[in-house]
A and B are shown apart, each in its own frame.
Chain A
Amino acid sequence: MSAPASQPAAPRGVTGNILTSDTGGATETVAAPFGHALVRAAEKNPRIVGLTADLGKYTDIHVFAEKFPARFFQMGMAEQSLVGCAAGLARTGFVPFATTYCVFATRRAYDFIAIGAALGGANIKIVAGLPGLTTGYGGTHQGIEDLALMCAIPNLTVIDPCDATEIAQATEAIAVHPGPVYMRLLRGQVPVALDAKTYRFEIGQARLLAEGSDVAIISTGLMTGRALEAVRLLQAEGVRASLLHVSTLKPLDRGAIAALIGRVDRVVTAENHVVTGGLASAVADVAVQAGRAIKLRRVGIPDCFCESGSIPYLVRRYRMGAPDIAAAARELLS
């Protein structure tokens, strides 16, 4: 029996190994930017210590652990203990960096972040991997609502960096910032979207990466890399877009957002997070507070738990790519 003749099918995407980084086809990447930046910060400050909950090599903190074994504490698969212990270390004058995944830090250890750390302003840094759709492992591993949870906690600084450049700068910035911080982590081979020579991360400062009066894109986290690409796609069609990158969700740079939406009233938000309780909600809040009527399109994860699958499949499935951001902008202009 001969096989039926058929067109060769497109290769089927499969869920990758959890250690695999999806670089989105980036031409330039940096390996473990967080781990190496933490080592640089720790060389300057001997009070920096590291902890993880059985995810050392999965969160790039193994780079620190290998360099400073005496300053690294393995806490096992126990996230409440991880965060509580970090708070205790902070109370003895250390600057603990504690790593796990977003889902485990925020869902399992919420009370320990809120009461153990934030209430008293304990100087701990929670650095959490697999934000949003950066893993194909489905609802258990995709941190889709962590920013909403963390932004609701008083005293906490919340950061969603864009790329390798920003992760490196933000790591060094939070190391010298007194007080509790929750930072999302991109780990492994991390794409470079921002120019390390010109970009300067500052806690609480949004950065205008493109100027254009037709439409305003406001983005956070890795979506800024895709938004930069969307700006180029739109430019090719003669559409001039502004792009404001908001890497600190709390404290929010309300002034920069208000100024941009004061100039441009057609607004697209892009976030690697559910579209409620994150950046889109924050922009809407700024607009309402400022009495500014805007038209808003929200690119991000809808109000659902997401499927498992390959990252490219998930990005298409939930309309999270650069073409989706550009399409949202076109919708506003049509």
Chain B
Amino acid sequence: MSPTVAPPPSLLRRAHALRLHVLRMAEVVGQGYVGQGLGIADLLAVIYFDELRYDPKRPDWPDRDRFVLSIGHYAIGLYAALAEAGVIPVGELDTYGSDGSRLEMSAPETTPGVEMTGGSLGHGLTQSVGMALGLRLDGRASRVFNLLSDGECQEGSTWEAAMAGAHHRLENLFAFIDCNNQQADGPPSAVMGIEPIHQKWEAFGWHTQRVNGNDISAIAAALREAKAVAGRPHAIVLDTLMGKGVPLFEQREKNHFIRVAPEEWVLARRQLEEAAP
């Protein structure tokens, strides 16, 4: 169901800014998970600039909402959001993936704003369940938002945690499942079929919706609906386009880990800037 309301211009601008940050970081290393960073920018814009309660100057504020990145290689997207949100300096993005930088290719928990070390897939939801239990036990209103991926739904531990989230009725727990239809060896349908993903989450007892993950209004509407449902954890399955906003990358066949020729960066940046809101 596509919402009829236009997305707030401020969020469109934020999403665009995140994409510019992603390109800036990817250019430093000349390759990487740029497709994921661009594809998830709309979600991160909604999360960091419309939903998440946090204090950029106090990343360890106990009453903050938690954004938990399971998929550590999406760090490029998270760093863009953390910089845009003022948790880390924008200038530091130029060190992404470089030796000695705290902005490692896969996000480590030692970096401010990174709640746990993801990257070994299938961890994020298990820890998110624990955080949600702990926050509820403490009587805090904080919520936990976990971003996982379609490929990550192949990890058995994801379903162990999905069971636990429903069993313990964690209404303060939200899982975003990024379905970009690409994993290391190809599309999930060829690697290990996992569709229909949304029906699986529903069968595991989660309040589940499936929306266009590059539609800011649709994401915001899904969050509004989820928050109104009590007694169950919430899954929002997002269909996203890898490389969204840069046609050069959108059209690559294998874009899990993109290698970019030096001259292509100019084109990529121009394509993104032309699409500025």
A92 and B134 in contact (CB under 8 A), knowing A78-B163, A116-B127? yes
Whether A84 and B126, one on each chain, are in contact in the complex, defined by CB atoms closer than 8 angstroms, is: yes
Q: Which of A70, A76, A94, A116 contacts B126 (CB 8 A)?
A: A116
B129 sits at the interface (CB 8 A) = yes
Q: Which of A76, A89, A120 contacts B130 (CB 8 A)?
A: A89
Task: Find chain A residues with CB under 8 A from B62 CB.
Answer: 92-93
Q: How far is the CA of A12 from the CA of B94 in the complex (A)?
A: 73
B135 sits at the interface (CB 8 A) = yes
Q: How far is the CA of A100 from the CA of B120 in the complex (A)?
A: 23
B161 sits at the interface (CB 8 A) = yes
Whether B135 and A80, one on each chain, are in contact in the complex, defined by CB atoms closer than 8 angstroms, is: no
Whether A85 and B109, one on each chain, are in contact in the complex, defined by CB atoms closer than 8 angstroms, is: no
Closest chain A CB from B80 CB (angstroms): 23
Q: How far is the CA of A78 from the CA of B133 in the complex (A)?
A: 17
Whether A87 and B134, one on each chain, are in contact in the complex, defined by CB atoms closer than 8 angstroms, is: no
Q: Which of B117, B123, B133, B156 contacts A89 (CB 8 A)?
A: B133
Whether A78 and B164, one on each chain, are in contact in the complex, defined by CB atoms closer than 8 angstroms, is: yes
Task: Find chain A residues with CB under 8 A from B116 CB.
Answer: 87-88, 91, 116, 120
Q: Is the interface of B mostly helix, strand, loop or mixed?
A: helix
A88 and B164 in contact (CB under 8 A), knowing A94-B137, A111-B120? no
B128 sits at the interface (CB 8 A) = yes
Whether A76 and B131, one on each chain, are in contact in the complex, defined by CB atoms closer than 8 angstroms, is: no
A84 and B129 in contact (CB under 8 A), knowing A93-B62, A120-B116? yes
Task: Find chain A residues with CB under 8 A from B138 CB.
Answer: 92-93
Query: In the complex, which range does the number of interface residues on chain B fall in?
Result: 20 to 34
Whether B126 and A112, one on each chain, are in contact in the complex, defined by CB atoms closer than 8 angstroms, is: yes
Closest chain A CB from B121 CB (angstroms): 10
Q: How far is the CA of A16 from the CA of B110 in the complex (A)?
A: 48
Closest chain A CB from B156 CB (angstroms): 7
A88 and B134 in contact (CB under 8 A), knowing A80-B122, A81-B126, A81-B157? yes
Closest chain B CB from A207 CB (angstroms): 35
Task: Find chain B residues with CB under 8 A from A116 CB.
Answer: 116, 123, 126-127
Q: Which of B109, B115, B156, B168 contacts A73 (CB 8 A)?
A: B168
Whether A49 and B137, one on each chain, are in contact in the complex, defined by CB atoms closer than 8 angstroms, is: yes
Q: Bits for A72-104, please: 1 = Cβ < 8 Å to B, else 0.
A: 010110101101111111111110100000000
Closest chain B CB from A121 CB (angstroms): 9
Q: Which of A235-286 contact B (CB under 8 A)?
A: none
A14 sits at the interface (CB 8 A) = no
Task: Find chain B residues with CB under 8 A from A85 CB.
Answer: 126-127, 129-130, 133, 161, 164
Whether A76 and B134, one on each chain, are in contact in the complex, defined by CB atoms closer than 8 angstroms, is: no
A80 and B130 in contact (CB under 8 A), knowing A94-B137, A119-B117? no
Closest chain A CB from B106 CB (angstroms): 11
A115 sits at the interface (CB 8 A) = yes
Whether A91 and B134, one on each chain, are in contact in the complex, defined by CB atoms closer than 8 angstroms, is: yes
Whether A84 and B161, one on each chain, are in contact in the complex, defined by CB atoms closer than 8 angstroms, is: yes
Task: Find chain A residues with CB under 8 A from B133 CB.
Answer: 73, 85, 88-89
Known A86-B130, A112-B157; 18 more pairs at CB < 8 Å: A75-B164, A76-B164, A78-B161, A80-B160, A81-B164, A84-B127, A85-B130, A88-B116, A88-B126, A88-B127, A88-B128, A88-B130, A88-B132, A88-B133, A89-B130, A89-B134, A91-B130, A94-B134
A residues lining the B interface (CB < 8 Å): 49, 70-71, 73, 75-76, 78, 80-81, 83-94, 96, 111-112, 115-116, 119-120
29 contacts between A and B (CB under 8 A): A71-B137, A73-B168, A75-B164, A78-B163, A80-B122, A80-B156, A80-B157, A84-B126, A84-B130, A84-B157, A87-B116, A87-B126, A88-B133, A88-B134, A89-B131, A91-B115, A91-B131, A92-B130, A92-B134, A92-B135, A92-B138, A93-B138, A94-B137, A112-B126, A115-B120, A115-B123, A116-B126, A120-B116, A120-B117
Q: Give the 3 A-B CB pairs with smallest separation, nearest first.
A: A88-B130, A84-B126, A92-B134
